[in-house]
Amino acid sequence: MTTIAWIPLICVTFIVIGTIGLGFYVQRSVRSTADLYVASRSVSVPMNSAAISGEYLSAASFMGVAGMIMKFGYDALWYPALYAAGYLFLLLFIASPLRRFGAYTIPDFAEGRFSSPVFRKIAVVFVLIIGLFYTMPQMKGAGVALVNILNTPYWVGVVLVGCVITLNVALGGMKGITFVQAFQYWVKMFAISLPIFILFSVVGGYPGHMNEIAKSDEIGKPLPTFKEDTTVSYKPLAPTNEITFPAGVTATFGNGAEVVVATAKPANKDFLPLSAENMIISGLPDEKYARELAGKSQTLYRFSAGDTFTVSDPLAGVGSVKLTVFPAAGQESVEIVYPKGAVVPNAPMNKAWMEPYGPFTNKYGHPLLYTYSLILALICGTAGLPHILVRFYTNPDGRTAKRTAFWVIILLGCFYLFPPIWGTLGRNLVPHLYAVTGGAFSTDSVVLTMPRLLNNTVPYLGDLLSGITSAGAFAGFMTTFSGLLVSITGALAHDIYGSMINPKASYKQRLRAFRVAAVIGGVTAIVLGTLVENFDINMMVGWAFAIAAASYFPMLIVSVWWRGTSMMGAAIGMLGGGIAALAAIVSVMLADKMAIPALSVYYAAHPVMRSLAEQPAIWAVPLALLLIFVVSWLTPAGVPKDASYKMLILHAPEELNLREEYIKESSLEKLGLRQV
């Protein structure tokens, strides 16, 4: 893409201007600290359910789910199913009790439940960790969207969206973003659904495309193929320079490259891997040299510009060949030219794409382990995301909080019907997206790219539909980033400044602290967003869920339902599970970036450990729960003396009117925090 997509640009501009306009409009009604943090606890069920759904439907839902399903197939259906199912768990066990114990933030709950200011400090740390982890995929979505619209560098979209949302949050806080999030849920619902029905009328319906994928799947003849001659650029950044070529592929290096040829993967167990010299039947270049990569010596073959290579014939039994490509001396990237009709690299076989335990969960050879860990991360993680949980404090009472959670399940279920359809059509209609394993033009951009196909049928129709999906994508990461930034800002301004540094701060001081904290959080998110261009959006969201599942979820579920939980038990459980999950995930990110060669070598040699590190919930959640129970039994003196009363507050029927406002508005007035 070399030109500006004007129609999508106009649609996105309207969304951005509307978001800023609503922020300025609502800012006039912000009169108290309660407005900033919990919208004065006056948000109705319809408004809050739409706002929570809008906040929850992030870049991962709008762009990432479709991209993951296109890339991996059946396996990735766990994401939309469990994103919605997690709210059922939240509805049954957490939403209503949490609201009855009224607070502004989840660290408020942590301190109030255990009468411990120390615990607040621990809880604040994980609000920041989870929030910042979750902002990274939103920033990735922003960068991808703007590259597709304006052909700008990736970082431009990250900075633009980061600045807009930071401004909005600083102006209106929770009250300001509630109206924006509720409105943008319906924008996203419209943007994900209308274009797909129009696409159906032109390119055929979902059953027809599934039937095409389900056709015969002979050895060496995987779908899809390039629809036209295509040049793909590979940046010299891990892991995007690792390309899996199926047998029979012919391609040409446009500007030369240095290539590592890995061992072939047989099409079935009856075939033995071929030697490197026999994998590329067009012949390897004579010029080669040794170089240390990922901690071990590798042989690199130097291809010149215009060199053509052909991967071994399908009859030789080679399922795929993995090449790692690096730019030639003096080049910034590797250009590979694929002819029309060539099989697309990195695309899984049809059979693997359509079956469970396929290319996603089976990528390290342990699909059941990977699947169960993913299930645990997404369900428990939903019930442990601070920026989602804090929204229930905006409901008037526990009954409305429970009704809100119920309607969120309905709204999310309606939305998640559509991303799998986008992914399926994308496999057939825009297969060239497989060729790039990361960055702006990978499968993550399928909902932005596919509508443009209709330009060949009706002029500008494709651009118009792409504009609608681009607006929906912007709404996706803007609403989620808004909620995340309010959560991060609340931790900095309310929990750290207002509760630890200056508890007697006036309303104006707290308002100033809130806005400064919003800027700090926004700038940090922007910086992190520029570093994750090569990771899948949904993978990063899954990591945020895993950290939440191993830290906040065990603390909340046990604190809400077990009177005997001690402060020390809850704190050590949260720290142990959360830090262990965080360390495992960071180690995977460093290994994939090849920042620590020893880690890359270790995980390559130990696929079980790689699975457990990439999806740590299966061991980190039980670890956190075990620590909570064991330490609580060993420290009974740490159980609050008024634990029975607090449990009554959490679980008493609404008719008894025993709910407790941990942060009481009357107390705020006494401190002079309300503006009059």
DSSP letters for 413-425: HHHTTSHHHHHHH
Longest Cα separation, the chain: 84
Other Cβ atoms less than 10 A from the Cβ of 247: the count is: 26
Run of H or E including 155: helix 154-203
Alpha-carbon distance of 109 to 123, in angstroms, equals 9
Tokens matching residue 561:
């339902």
Find the mean pLDDT for residues 245-256.
82
Q: What is the pLDDT of residues 139-194, one digit of tens each?
A: 888 888 788 777 778 888 888 888 887 877 776 555 556 777 888 889 899 999 99
Cis bond leading into 224, ω under 30°? Answer: yes
Confidence category of residue 675, pLDDT binned at 50, 70, 90? very low
Enumerate long-range contacts of 289-293, CB under 8 Å, 24 or more apart.
Answer: 293/260, 293/324, 293/594, 293/597
Average pLDDT score over the chain: 80
Q: What residues contact 427, with CB distance under 8 A and at least 6 apart?
A: 70, 73, 209, 213, 223, 224, 347, 353
Find the mean pLDDT for residues 476-500.
79
Paired residues of 324 in beta bridges: 242, 260
Q: What is the pLDDT of residues 262-290, one digit of tens each?
A: 666 655 555 555 565 666 767 778 788 88
Looking at residue 308, its pLDDT comes to 87
The proportion of the chain whose per-residue pLDDT surpasses 70, expressed as a percent, equals: 83
Amino acid present at 628: I
Looking at mean pLDDT, say which of 216-225, 306-315, 325-334, 662-671 comes out highest: 325-334
Q: Is the pLDDT of residue 498 over 80?
A: no
Q: Which residue has the higher pLDDT, 563 or 333?
A: 563
Superfamily of domain 7-201+358-365+374-668, CATH level 4: Sodium/glucose cotransporter (1.20.1730.10)
Paired residues of 336 in beta bridges: 232, 253
For 276, phi then psi, to 5°, come to -55, -40
Q: What is the pLDDT of residues 35-93, one digit of tens each?
A: 555 555 667 788 888 888 888 887 778 888 898 899 998 888 888 888 888 878 877 78
Run of H or E including 382: helix 367-382
Alpha-carbon distance of 436 to 237, in angstroms, equals 12
Q: What is the pLDDT of residues 513-556, one digit of tens each?
A: 888 888 898 899 899 988 888 777 878 888 989 999 999 999 99
The proportion of the chain whose per-residue pLDDT surpasses 90, expressed as a percent, equals: 18
The domains of the chain are located at: 7-201+358-365+374-668, 230-346
